[in-house]
Amino acid sequence: MEDAHDDVTAYFAWEEVLCRRVGQGHPPVVHLWRHPDAFVVGLRDRRLPQAETAMQRIRSGGTSVCVRPSGGAAVPLNPGVLNVSLIIPNPPGRLDIHEDFRLMVDLISRSLAPWSEAARAGEIAGAFCPGDYDVSIEGRKFCGIAQRRQAKALIVSAFIIVEGSGDALADQVRGFYDEASAGGAEGYPDVRSGTMASLQELAGVSSVRAYQASLFRLLQEEAGARLLLQEPSVPIDEVQVMTEKLRLRYDV
């Protein structure tokens, strides 16, 4: 589904549909995707007093904007950011959400083996979309992880900044919070320069394509038949219906 839609909401709709399918017995799925120009807002961000104004201002510049149904906070997307989602069953009685975060951290850390073994998990103060499972190198975050859980399946999602400037992305997020909070809402990310970086900056990864190839090799070696690496076919009308539902539920 890479670069297939202008509307970033459609990517989350596609995953929502697949998550239901996996809950009904479909094999687990790995979804890799990028977007040319999008800004994804967290559910809590949407409650900021001027969030609607800030989102509309970003849209007016031609950027696709949506509120995602998973956890996490605001994240800008461009072709240098690779999104990775594991869509897997959620067996009855399985309550340890941290296990799923650790699964993604391990996958990302090991996929960096050709370039670096220095990736670490832990919240980076001043980074955007902060969380206990930020993935960083030498104190600068390049990856954030979130979850979306349904009754019988779940989505563990990561954004990975591979190419470009981490500080430039941080500037975009800081601008959103400055506007959306009307100058000062407590409890929201205080995004600071020097906390975000790309794998290109941190580890010399040449391109998204090179990193994605390493990740795909690892998935083939480790997952084998347990994960469906070829993108499943989902009827476009089903995705369109889900896209509209997500817009009505979460967006402005």
pLDDT, tens digit (0-9, with 9 covering 90-100), for 62-104: 999 999 988 889 999 999 999 999 999 998 876 677 899 999 9
129 is catalytic: yes
Least confident of 21-35, 77-91, 92-106, 165-179: 92-106
| Contact present, 127 and 177 (Cβ < 8 Å) | no
- How far is 52 from 251, CA to CA, in rounded Å? 9
Residues near 149 by beta carbon (within 8 Å), at least 6 away in sequence: 90, 97, 155
In the predicted structure, residue 112 carries a pLDDT above the cut 50: yes
User: Could you give all domains of the chain from N- to C-terminal order, each with its CATH number?
Assistant: 9-250 (3.30.930.10)
Helices (H) and strands (E) in the chain, counts: 7, 9
Task: Report the chain's C-alpha Rg in angstroms.
Answer: 17
Sign of the CA dihedral 39, 136, 138, 132? positive
**Treating both helix axes as pointing N-terminal to C-terminal, what angle do 166-180 and 51-60 enclose, rounded to 10 degrees?**
130
How far apart CA 135 and CA 106 sit, in angstroms, is 10
Nearest to 216 by CA among 84, 118, 115, 19: 84
* Residue 163: both structure tokens together: 């190419």
**Which residue is catalytic, options 19, 66, 129, 143?**
129
Q: Residue 88 forms beta bridges with which residues?
A: 154
- Point out the least confidently predicted range of 117-121, 212-216, 232-236, 237-241: 232-236
- More confident of the two residues 92 and 186: 92
Helices 208-223 and 97-111, axial angle in degrees (round to 10): 120
Q: Percentage of the chain with pLDDT > 90?
A: 76
Pairing of strands 153-161, 81-89: antiparallel
Q: Which of 217, 221, 219, 198 is nearest to 208 (CA)?
A: 198
CA atoms of 243 and 225, how far apart (whole Å):
30
